[in-house]
Amino acid sequence: MPNDPKNLLWIPAIFVLIAGTPAYADDSAQAEARARAHIKNFSSKSLSDANQSFVATGVTVGPNGEENVRFNRRFKGLDVIGGDMVAHSDSRGASQGFSMSLKRQINVSDRPAVSGADAVRAALAANAGYALNGQPKLVVYARGDTPVLA
């Protein structure tokens, strides 16, 4: 029967599915925007400056509304290995700090001292039995005590 109330039970379920998706996307976008503001406003704690940019890789909103936004760090356009960071906010959006392995502000030149070809030759000479897979890529290596160009 077309007017049977049982046939209308699916309408609320579809409404929840459709209405719920944009709200989550909006919550994630707002959490990311708050996290980016915290990175900028607390630059000494996030070890960031104008030479750095951040690529959001994930947003988690906890059951109590706390937000954790994961970022990959870039320095003057170069990927930073060991520069990933999580910005934490409470349920009101206030900063709760950052989790990261970076220990120092990045302060390196973005111009290599040797050419890519010379770096490949040196790496292959130091690692006998290995071969190059792909093209060399200039990065900042920040897993040690002091970030370096690599």
Q: What is the pLDDT of residues 75-122, one digit of tens each?
A: 999 999 999 999 999 999 999 999 999 999 999 998 999 888 898 888
Mean pLDDT of 33-60: 97
- Which range of residues forms the domain containing residue 129? 5-149
Question: Lowest-pLDDT range, 2-16, 44-58, 103-117, 118-132?
Answer: 2-16
Which contiguous run of DSSP H or E holds residue 116? helix 116-126
Number of Cβ within 10 Å of residue 125's Cβ equals 8
Q: How many domains does the chain have?
A: 1
Tell me how long the chain is: 150
pLDDT value for 20? 40
